[in-house]
Amino acid sequence: MAIRTVGVVGLGNMGLGMAAQLARSGFSVDGHDISAARQGVAEAAGIRFRAGLAELLADADALVFSLPYARDVEAVVTAPGGLLERRDRKVVVIDTSTSDPGTSRRLAARLAEAGHGLLDAPVSGGPAGAAAGTLTMMIGGGEADLALAGPVLEAMAAKVVHVGPSGAGNIAKLVNNMLVAAHLITTGEALRLAEAAGLPAEAVLPVVNAATGRSAVSEAMVPRWVLPGSFDSGFSAGLMRKDVGLAAALAAEVGCDLPLSAAVARIWEEMRGRIADADDFTRMADFREPPAG
């Protein structure tokens, strides 16, 4: 079953880049966003903007979701007259949103009953990776759905890792983002210590990155967005707070005691007054800010 038309739901920082990359790869791409203001940028990127979600769900051979919350994903999957009522062909939903594993498993079961598939496929690489087709995707779902969606995944990502069954992709993403949330705090504190002791952050950072203290935060985020003070990675502090909360909820659900991660989650909440949800998440590593409290 060849995939010719891909519907992309959610044309924000990530979704627009992925949709544009799919269009450049030769797919016919329909896009939908709750903001009509996205129409102009979508059409400039070769994407046909669909104001009505029902039309997109009815016509697409495959779907890509890039949405903020699990409730948004569920609302699209269960939209009246939408995907659950289609019987003309099998449609695989590639959900790149970071969601909770339980919701992914439940929606995958509902879609399977209707003859469709769902891959939970959260991504790493940011808006730049989405626009360049160089994302890393961690996939949860069945082998048959993965094979059917293969050409779409290959157009969007440089690396596709099939982690396991439905829900596994989101577990992997939450584990990853729990680490990123911690690294932002610890890297900011380490650079603050260096500065307080008389060693500029710019001087100590190359040492850290050549030694065992390095991370993606110290190697990429601090040089690109923290040192220049631009703080424009394209990922919000609010979304990171959401992911930290999902990781904490997963830990509670499976009975896993994570004291350091609990402290990280508390710090992210306590910093809400200084780092708003709309702010860039890299502000958490700003060593020039005094500690909270």
CATH superfamily, with its number, for domain 5-165? NAD(P)-binding Rossmann-like Domain (3.40.50.720)
Judging by beta carbons within 10 Å of its beta carbon (0-12, 13-18, 19+), is residue 96 exposed, middle or buried? buried
For the domain with range 171-285, which CATH number is right: 3.40.50.2300, 3.90.420.10, 3.40.630.40, 1.10.1040.10?
1.10.1040.10
Single out the residue of 186, 133, 139, 145 nearest to residue 62, CA to CA: 145
Is the confidence at residue 169, as pLDDT, over 60?
Answer: yes
**Per-residue pLDDT tens digits for 100-158:** 999 999 999 999 999 999 999 999 999 999 999 999 999 999 999 999 999 999 999 99
pLDDT at residue number 290: 63
Active site residue 159: no
* Mean pLDDT (whole number) for 265-290: 94
Structural domain spans, the chain: 5-165, 171-285
pLDDT at residue number 292: 55
Is the confidence at residue 64, as pLDDT, over 70?
Answer: yes
Contact call for residues 103 and 95 (beta carbons, < 8 A): no
Mean of the per-residue pLDDT values for the chain?
Answer: 96
Q: What is the DSSP letter of 290?
A: P
**Residue 1: pLDDT band by 50, 70, 90 thresholds?**
confident
pLDDT at residue number 77: 97
* Mean pLDDT (whole number) for 48-54: 94
Is the confidence at residue 94, as pLDDT, over 70?
Answer: yes
